[in-house]
Chains A and B, each alone.
Chain A
């Protein structure tokens, strides 16, 4: 089982130090606290005191044992003697990634898959599938599951779990609903009862362009400008629509990087990007840690260091992924930082993916600057800049699955358009959104009201935490605050953090996201989404946290 565990560590699920089997790899990674967060274990080995020797000996040894294992367990003598060479060819650059891929092969699942009816043995599924089937036990997913099993409801289930772990916005849904009730009657198949309207059933039933209807692209471009307060205009022909931001990120991953290549991602970053980006593409993520001392702001020096380390390892870095407003911290990237990012990308000849999915959900007065604006104002080869957007957050319609790739690179657009055949937006939803987004008066009012409500909730929530002596970083955007509970954890490490998380989930019954799920290198930080609440819920949440705090007092 060693290798299976090993893979999960590599997958950066925050559970490394709890699994005894991984400790050999992990503790060599330099010792002390940093060891805990080693993302690619072998990377850790190489950088740590073990140095190059261990870094090469361990993988070789593991690989050798694996081959032995495969040889011994090839039960069917008639099967082709497929040499390990064939299995290892696909990924060539990183030996660790390769190793773990193979180690996932057929084993962890073979036993449960053995059907009593089958006489010939287990059904082998792919190692890609094996790698993920059991990976859900990261706290982020555990928490979400817990809420879905026992959701809080003021009247029906007052003892249920309160959701603070999902970045969805319930604050302004009434506005959308009212619009629909008044206006949407004919938006799907137009023309009312006559059936002879401009848009008949064939306008939604038949094949439509996979990358989205042009009318919707025009409407989305308008919405994006509106959300960014007119500071920049978007060209609809540079838009590719996908079924949510999840496939948008993945498609960019497929287009910009080959298996084994890597993206630099400033951490903490939002938890699901690991799965969204890496799983099927075979692309790697190199977290670039930001620190509380700098208010978790991005440092070009750290990026540069990570880039050079990757280069030394022989790993090709294809780009950098930022989220702006940042998820989970909630800070914005200012103009200067964006310019230096662009310079950095140019110097290293890599791409920039800017996830701006919260652009319209800003708090307070700080100005949001889109990467598109920087590109507009700068004489810069735009081909390397790609923006990800969606309607899940700013229009609070995650169920509608509309994601946006906005790129300046014709080749990326061409490939992405073709790749949308695997994940396009269903036509009835497109038609509906076209009429909604084209109602500019409604949209303006929506954005304004939503911002207002968001700001109010944020202030109340943060004030509530403050009364409990829990401080948050100053947030300028997003549906969450980034709360510092490091003073409340029993031991200043990931274990301590997860202990507190567990208490919050199981005793206080609130689901927050622990910093370790976001690859935060400092323990004790938590992301709390407040947009799933109503104002009435805030005292309940604070009450529940308070109860847990009392049990934590012993430390101080």
Chain B
């Protein structure tokens, strides 16, 4: 007999029970000519004996008939013990189990300042501009001069030797600028007498490059000599000046366009808001030179010097608004996607205004961008047409030539076409070395850059003269205007982000709110309140700083990668998860509790019956 596995199932051993006798007694029933082999197992005898305990043993008591239930008869103390055990388990489950389950399946939600956030929903912005009004000699009559309380009486005679009338106004503005120290956001208005020759006849107001304005007005003829009457007389004109230099209703509504119902802003301001980039912590500017014909034109552009001279001053002035990163590249064999038409009358190739829209897309695929940042990109392209298609001019809707030979696309950038066919004749040796006149190019790019960054080209009211910014790129009051609208935009965007984030976190109870999100939200709310306070006080620079802080903190909180609400569980899924876990546990407890309850009730009923 071969060795068998010790855990051979019982029926087989029952069959082989006769061999157990050999094990127990120590002899096997010998038979001559036995067919069975001898039993040599590798296990000692006593191990085989232990199998007896695995074998099914016969019952001592007779098997009960089927259909007859046998209930274990328990004595009263045992029943009581059973009852108290059931009650204790139920109590444990309810007292300890349910809170434990609740706590362990809770999501961590850091505390958010909900009260302050709800305050933000009803945010009221008050913008205050500091205006200093300076009356020049001759504007006030003597009694007015006595009665008007002057905070500063300055005896300053300004003798000017004006070489020509043309420079007079600029000089005057420059000199007046050095007199007073103007802070960011404030405006100084100089009232000059009606008869002054500084301004030409038709112009009433001159706005200089810094924050000063010259207003020609006759105040001496005002009835009533006190300060309030004088200022009341000047009020409408001063308001006009302030609306040009600081902000007006259209600017503010344009800054808030996405938060307002459509239809509230005018179409012009909407066009302006579509053109300029939204407020962003940084921008990337790329200057590209497109040379489709390197065989004929070898172009040299001194872009670094040009950027230093013309573009960086503007960008340095804009440093409080955003960070800028500038780069440049040259692309060879890059063609415009549109075929220009030859116009014999002008003997040049022309691009009509309609085809300009299709120029940008094929080129954009070739322009790279900085993969590291997600800032908006402004592209400025300088296209030098190939010798076959030179000269190339752009025509506007009225089929007229455009002086700048350039066009721009809102929120994208600008393209300028630079013709070089005049630089060489027919029989020069190719490739021709051509140096590009960067001042002309940068003049166009600078004006396009101003448009993209948000310096609107709104027309001035009649009678106004606005001094051009020239080489500096932007006048200080223009920058102030931008700062006002940016601050308002930042405050509006940040408060909208915070309120919608709070709403989202409220609605979805399953999202985990980490500590860093709560911290960002708290700092955003603090910065917002500080920005609003500064705007009310009239400190524009501080207000802008706080609003930038607020918007960056709110964006970081809103776009935090951990706030993904992949947590929509339909109800049937929730049941499917919890039922297999809790049902097997809860049903016995509930049933035993019910049984106890019924027994108690029965007991009480019996007692009552006994009493009765």
Bound together: no
